[in-house]
Amino acid sequence: MALAKDYQSVMGRSNEIQKEALGLDYADFETSPISFDYDALMKSTGYTLDEIERIQGLHGVGNTPLLELRNITKLARKYAKPGFGARIFAKDESCNASGSFKDRRAACAVAHAKKLGYKGVMAATSGNYGAAVASQAAMQGLNCIIVQECYDSHGVGQPEIVEKARKCEALGAEVVQLTVGPELFYSFLSIMEDTGYFNASLYSPFGIAGVETLGYEIATQCREKLGKDPDVVVCTNAGGGMVTGTARGLLKAGCKAEVVAASIDLTGLSMASDVDFNKKSCTTGHTGFGVPYATDPDHSDVPRSAARPLRYMDKYLTTTQGEVMYMTEMLANLEGIERGPAGNTALAAAFSYAQELPEDAIVVVSETEYTGAGKHIQPQLDFARDNGIDIKFGDPKDDKPGTNLILPANPGLIKHKVADIEHFRKSLIKKAVKKAGVKPTAADLEFLAVETKTDVDFVKKTLEAEGLL
């Protein structure tokens, strides 16, 4: 008998569908209603860092250049106190097969799907990850379906996402496009159930393990080129995979660099709003994803996300859309490399943060991404202007997402803001306990301390203040 395919029925089968589609039973890692064994989940991939490097090497992924941004460093020093202005480097991740660091996540997941005998792979993504999965599926001989949130209710699409759909199709994938809303997950599950394809989720342990090579390469390339470790690694933060994987790779290399997350501040715009959808002038690397995924990692397309950025981040900086657009133009004009804007979120934060660090310090921006029609500051600014966004030069501190887009009147006005990471940590602790609806055990308190890079005392105080302990 054919299975019922209505919303309630498919969502009701979510756990079984996901189990089938990942070849992994997350129940094996649950230790209490609050805690699970994250290390065991990550080890469940069964791949060592060396094996992942080998898989990536076979598929056009990894070993990307570490570029010193000399002119950008020189410019940053003009706005720093004497003796300040760290050297800024960028990992040119656009050199990966499909043009972004997401290839690292996809290579491993697709290789694993192939090993397990799946005929195809699927991913729910409006970002570069779609092209990455499509590219790896093409290389490794599997079918691929990408499900995108792409349009508002009038069928108007973000130019950046429309371009990503084109790229996926160019690489042979089927692209299913939807209007705004979390029920995308229903379509995704339903197609996965029909096809029996592998869920190449962004948040699977295979995906995150694939990013570890990025952190590892940053540490080893700095040692080879500069004879020392980087002091700071700045990662653009959306779903948390870049921060998590890079930080884990740095740790595997024995590197103790400060891990800084950076997102574009889109406070005030609702991510599930049909109207707000096209008032954004960037579609990723912003707080609309960054904050909810950091404080509640387990609301993605897998039962437990392997991306858990608060375990690893030391600071969380925010920038504005206008600052990131300006930096993208700066990268092209002062360094001669034209790259997509989304990857430059971390670069904008790094430009300003480096000014607070001594000249001999090393700051590495963990990625660049490809650029092209739609995925470029001109179509994105033009689209914003068409949507009534007031674009002008001024002071980015007057930025109001969805209303205006302030391009810094001069580079000295690019100033990161320090987000309240302690607030995010408390938020994660409270959400985890409330969601479980049970009183935490001593083991749960330990788990939450690790989850938030704090200690048991901090966790206890947070819960006591809320009457949750």
Applying CB under 8 A, the residues found at the interface with another protein are 7, 71, 74-75, 78, 120, 143-145, 150-151, 153, 155, 157, 159, 162-163, 166, 169, 172-183, 186-187, 191, 194-195, 270, 272-276, 326, 329-330, 333-334, 373-374, 376-383, 385, 391-393, 407, 410-411
Based on CB atoms, which residue is closest to another protein, 175 or 459?
175
User: In which element (H, E) is residue 121 found?
Assistant: strand 120-124
Residue 51: CB atoms within 10 Å: 14
The rounded distance, in Å, linking the Cα atoms of 317 and 265 is: 9
Q: How far is the CB of 296 from another protein (least distance, A)?
A: 13
Based on CB atoms, which residue is closest to another protein, 37 or 382?
382
Query: Cα angle at 116 between 115 and 121, to 5 degrees?
Result: 90
Q: How far is the CB of 169 from another protein (least distance, A)?
A: 7
Q: How far is the CB of 192 from another protein (least distance, A)?
A: 12
The counts of H helices and E strands in the chain are: 18, 13
Q: How far is the CB of 286 from another protein (least distance, A)?
A: 17
SS3 of the chain: helix, strand, coil, percent, to 5: 50, 15, 35
Provide the 8-state DSSP code for 257.
-
The rounded distance, in Å, linking the Cα atoms of 103 and 133 is: 7
Q: How far is the CB of 177 from another protein (least distance, A)?
A: 4
Based on CB atoms, which residue is closest to another protein, 78 or 439?
78
Q: How far is the CB of 116 from another protein (least distance, A)?
A: 18
The rounded distance, in Å, linking the Cα atoms of 216 and 207 is: 15
Based on CB atoms, which residue is closest to another protein, 182 or 358?
182
Based on CB atoms, which residue is closest to another protein, 152 or 444?
152
- Which one, of 139, 146, 149, 126, lies nearest residue 195 by Cα? 146
Based on CB atoms, which residue is closest to another protein, 212 or 276?
276
The rounded distance, in Å, linking the Cα atoms of 392 and 97 is: 36
Based on CB atoms, which residue is closest to another protein, 31 or 195?
195
E strand spans, 158-302: 174-179, 198-199, 232-236, 258-264
Q: How far is the CB of 412 from another protein (least distance, A)?
A: 10
